[in-house]
């Protein structure tokens, strides 16, 4: 649905909103009209927050997590178990795992999955940084917590081979099946996720 | 879901997004993280579009429609039928009616419905402006196209009394109610179904 009449500034906002994930053309139009109905200062506040957002957020130089302070709060926290590293695709996956309450280790954010057709190879992910981290004696276990999707499984397999080649004796695990195949960590409820963490299995038994 | 660790600028964006209609806490978080993953220039473009939006959009001084030029494109268009005025709650309602292709008249946007508990009385809506417009000889019919909700019905009843009191002989109408085309009996609410049964029509007249 295109906005009515002569409204190019609203058209432009609706077009940008419609490019965001989960916002279809109808929702984008409804959001655009809602924004116009809000008090000016609320729209301007959102504009100003968005204006500074990209400048404030960086990736943690240790684990790749989105953060405003580098290293991130996880990497600096004295209460996290540094012997276990949970490797995830995106920072938002770490958020879901953290909310389940079943994981107290540290994270490593790959920044995606291997996807040769989209030009994403090992060099486009934080894999070199992961292998560097694993040279530390401190680390006893790595959970390969990529999504249970085709790309996530392929990325986990690829990492398993690389990590085995390091011959560090680090245990590898993957979350227990129970996550729906083709599902997404971000949309999994905390209880299911907690169970999947608690019943994770050594990788050779999968 | 609160964002992870030390991310106050992302927290703030997520909080603002979560106040928009149809965006729950999970969607707001996912959108916030998605925005961070976008190229900086795309986020800044959205910020700049939002920054100018409230300054560019006004209400048409004739019909109350959102517009960037006053009077709006509808009120200026020589091809609209000025003898029929469709009274709607919001500009977005006019958009839906326009997209149906079944209406070629002009609009009048009330700016909401009567809602005494929320402090919205006749003075808070564009009712005085509507009555002024109806003094023109040009207008033969007014469609009271407020929503088929409790507030919409009450507002339509209130307007019917006011317009009858004008003694202009203007015809008043309201959209037909019944089952939506392509709808499913099973998913139709009881009230709509009851009304559709009670106002059923002989088949040859449909």
B7, HSE (Cβ side, Cα atoms, 13 Å) = 27
Residue A116: is its pLDDT beyond 80? yes
B120 lies within 8 A of chain A by CB: no
Distance from CA of B45 to the nearest CA of A (A): 8
Mean of all residue pLDDT scores within chain A: 89
A97 lies within 8 A of chain B by CB: no
A10 lies within 8 A of chain B by CB: yes
A48 lies within 8 A of chain B by CB: yes
Q: Which backbone phi and psi does A183 adopt, to 5 degrees?
A: -80, -170
B57 touches A7 (CB < 8 A): yes
Question: How much is the average pLDDT of A178-189?
Answer: 72
Q: How confident is the model at residue A198 (pLDDT cuts 50, 70, 90)?
A: confident
Q: Do B8 and A68 touch (CB under 8 A)?
A: yes
Q: SS3 of B109, please? A: strand
Residue B199: is its pLDDT beyond 60? yes
Token pair 């959209």 is found at B175
Q: Which pLDDT score is estimated for B182?
A: 76
- Roughly what angle, to the nearest 10 degrees, separates helices A25-37 and A40-56? 120
Put simply, the chain A residues between 184 and 203 with a CB less than 8 A from any chain B CB are 186-187
On chain A, the residues whose CB falls within 8 A of the CB of B90 are 33, 37
DSSP assignment of B19-65 equals: TSTT--HHHHHHHHHHHHHS-HHHHHHHHHHHHHHHHH-EE-TTT--
Q: Which pLDDT score is estimated for B80?
A: 95
- Which residue from B minimizes the CA distance to A42? B16
Q: Which domains, from first to last, does chain B contain?
A: 8-56 (1.10.8.420), 79-202 (3.40.1360.10)
Q: What letter would DSSP give residue A76?
A: H
Q: How does pLDDT run across A62-94, given as a tens digit for each residue?
A: 999 999 999 999 999 999 999 999 999 999 999
- Which residue from B minimizes the CA distance to A75? B5
Distance CA B90, CA B94 (A): 7
User: Two tokens at A44?
Assistant: 């301007």
How many contiguous H segments (helices) and E segments (strands) does chain B have?
8, 6
User: Two tokens at A99?
Assistant: 């909310």
Q: Which pLDDT score is estimated for A22?
A: 87
Put simply, the chain A residues between 121 and 160 with a CB less than 8 A from any chain B CB are none
Q: Which pLDDT score is estimated for B53?
A: 94
Question: How much is the average pLDDT of A13-32?
Answer: 92
User: Two tokens at B164?
Assistant: 């009858």
Q: Which pLDDT score is estimated for B197?
A: 81
B98 lies within 8 A of chain A by CB: yes
Q: How does pLDDT run across B21-79, given as a tens digit for each residue?
A: 889 998 999 999 999 989 999 999 999 999 999 999 999 999 999 999 999 999 999 99
Mean of all residue pLDDT scores within chain B: 89
**In this prediction, what percent of chain B has a pLDDT beyond 90?**
63
Q: Do A20 and B42 touch (CB under 8 A)?
A: no
Residue B1: is its pLDDT beyond 50? no
Q: How confident is the model at residue B149 (pLDDT cuts 50, 70, 90)?
A: confident
**In this prediction, what percent of chain B has a pLDDT beyond 70?**
96
- What is the ipTM metric for this complex? 0.75
Q: Which pLDDT score is estimated for B52?
A: 94
């Amino acid at each position: 649905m295109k906005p009515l009449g002569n409204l190019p500034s609203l058209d432009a906002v609706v077009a940008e909103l419609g490019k965001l994930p989960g916002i279809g053309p109808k929702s984008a139009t409804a959001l655009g009209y809602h924004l116009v109905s809000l008090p000016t200062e609320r729209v301007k506040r959102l504009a100003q927050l968005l204006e500074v957002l990209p400048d404030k957020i960086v990736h943690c130089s240790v684990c790749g997590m989105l953060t405003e302070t580098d290293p991130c709060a996880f990497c600096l926290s004295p209460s996290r178990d540094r012997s276990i590293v949970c490797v995830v695709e995106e920072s938002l996956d770490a958020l879901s795992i953290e909310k389940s309450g079943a994981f107290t280790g540290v994270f490593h954010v790959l920044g995606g999955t291997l996807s040769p057709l989209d030009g994403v190879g090992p060099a486009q992910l934080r894999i070199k940084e992961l292998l560097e981290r694993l040279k530390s004696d401190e680390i006893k276990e790595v959970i390969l917590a990529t999504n249970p999707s085709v790309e996530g499984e392929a990325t986990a397999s690829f990492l398993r081979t690389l990590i085995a080649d390091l011959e560090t004796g680090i245990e590898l695990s993957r979350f227990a099946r129970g996550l729906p195949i083709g599902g997404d960590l971000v949309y999994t409820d905390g209880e299911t996720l907690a169970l999947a963490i608690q019943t994770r299995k050594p990788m050779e038994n999968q």
